[in-house]
Structure 1
Amino acid sequence: MLYKSIILAVDLTDESIKVANKAVALCNAFSAELHVVHVIESLNYAYGGDVPIDITDIQNQLRQTAEDKMSLLLDQLDTPNKNYQITQGGIESEIHRIAEEKHADLIVVGSHCKHGLALLLGSTSNGVLHGSPCDVLAVKVNDPNKEK
């Protein structure tokens, strides 16, 4: 199966470049178009509804920080076919929506090693996998055994 449209979903942490490099390698191998996506989880969404203060300034600061970090990440990627999108909402649902919109064949996400309660509750990469309109590749970004 050939991949022609690949979504790279990043959290814009320092580990994003490792995930991005895997996505770029796949794009180069398949001559695919890369769509880099970052979702800012809406504070209203994160806290389950109404927030009793005006959060416009906070959301604007989050977006500006994301734009700055996205620019730095894109500068490091070695592929001519890259687009990016920063959106706001539920992380998994926005990634699914964009994958459908872009007719993606593959979503690439980072997978953090989780332990205890975080493992039981799931992760973003697990949430992206369930309900995805296409294949999902979870790239392991840290190994707790190597950190010991």
Structure 2
Amino acid sequence: MANYTKILMAVDLTDDSAEVAERARAIATNNSAELHIIHVIEPLSFAYGGDIPMDFSGIQDEIHQQASQQLEKFATEQGVAADRRHVVLGRPEVEIHALAEEIGADLIVVGSHGRYGLALLMGSTANGVLHGATCDVLAVRVGVSR
């Protein structure tokens, strides 16, 4: 098993994030690794294809502010240092890969809902992260009873 030194935990700030954090913290503790956390906000224009003649900047700023507050609270509960907390705007898999490269992460930990059928065809963040990562990826199964 690899000895990880920098771990990037990607969370969506739902209740499932606690399961992802538990696994990431355990691996970080066992390896004396530096733990970073990222939450990616998708631009509203992505959801509407950029074809809506509206200015979403005020709403987007509010979403960013709320996400930053939620991540600060969550990261504090998880013991992640303030300088290792990242809230970014963009496509989740792209931004997760970019930050992993920037910090030199050797493991990305992300939640996976284990979707199938149409939900799988629509794509998932975990799948996108797995297929473009240059380091190991751990997809933690979340939202299922064990």
| TM-score (ref. length: structure 2) | 0.90
* Structure 1 spans left out of the alignment, 5+ residues: none
User: Is structure 2 residue 72 aligned with structure 1 residue 74?
Assistant: no
Q: How far 1:115 sits from its partner (Å)?
A: 3.3
Measure the CA separation in 1 of the matches of 2:141 and 2:83. Answer: 22
Measure the CA separation in 2 of the matches of 1:11 and 1:135. Answer: 20
The more displaced of 37-46 and 83-92 is: 37-46
Aligned length: 145
Give, as a single letter, the amino acid of the residue that structure 1 aligns with 2:11.
Answer: V
Measure the CA separation in 1 of the matches of 2:111 and 2:95. Answer: 16
Deviations 1:17-65 (A, max 9, x none): 1101111111111111111000101122333334411111111111111
Whether the aligned pair in 1 keeps the contact of 2:7 and 2:108 (CA below 8 Å) is yes
- Matched residue SS, 1:104: coil
Percent sequence identity is: 50
Give, as a single letter, the amino acid of the residue that structure 2 aligns with 1:120.
Answer: L
Measure the CA separation in 1 of the matches of 2:70 and 2:117. Answer: 30
Give, as a single letter, the amino acid of the residue that structure 2 aligns with 1:105.
Answer: D
Whether the aligned pair in 1 keeps the contact of 2:72 and 2:85 (CA below 8 Å) is no
User: Is structure 2 residue 133 aligned with structure 1 residue 132?
Assistant: yes
User: Is structure 2 residue 130 aligned with structure 1 residue 100?
Assistant: no
Q: How far 1:76 sits from its partner (Å)?
A: 1.7
More helix, by proportion: 2
- Matched residue SS, 2:140: strand
Whether the aligned pair in 2 keeps the contact of 1:6 and 1:106 (CA below 8 Å) is yes
Matches within 5 A, 1:82-93: 83-93=84-94
Whether the aligned pair in 1 keeps the contact of 2:36 and 2:84 (CA below 8 Å) is yes
Give, as a single letter, the amino acid of the residue that structure 2 aligns with 1:39.
Answer: V
- Matched residue SS, 2:137: strand
Give, as a single letter, the amino acid of the residue that structure 2 aligns with 1:126.
Answer: N
Measure the CA separation in 2 of the matches of 1:67 and 1:35. Answer: 15
Deviations 1:105-140 (A, max 9, x none): 000000013132002333110010011111100001
Measure the CA separation in 2 of the matches of 1:19 and 1:61. Answer: 26
* Structure 2 spans left out of the alignment, 5+ residues: none
Whether the aligned pair in 1 keeps the contact of 2:37 and 2:85 (CA below 8 Å) is yes
Please tell me the root mean square deviation across aligned C-alpha atoms, in Å: 1.9
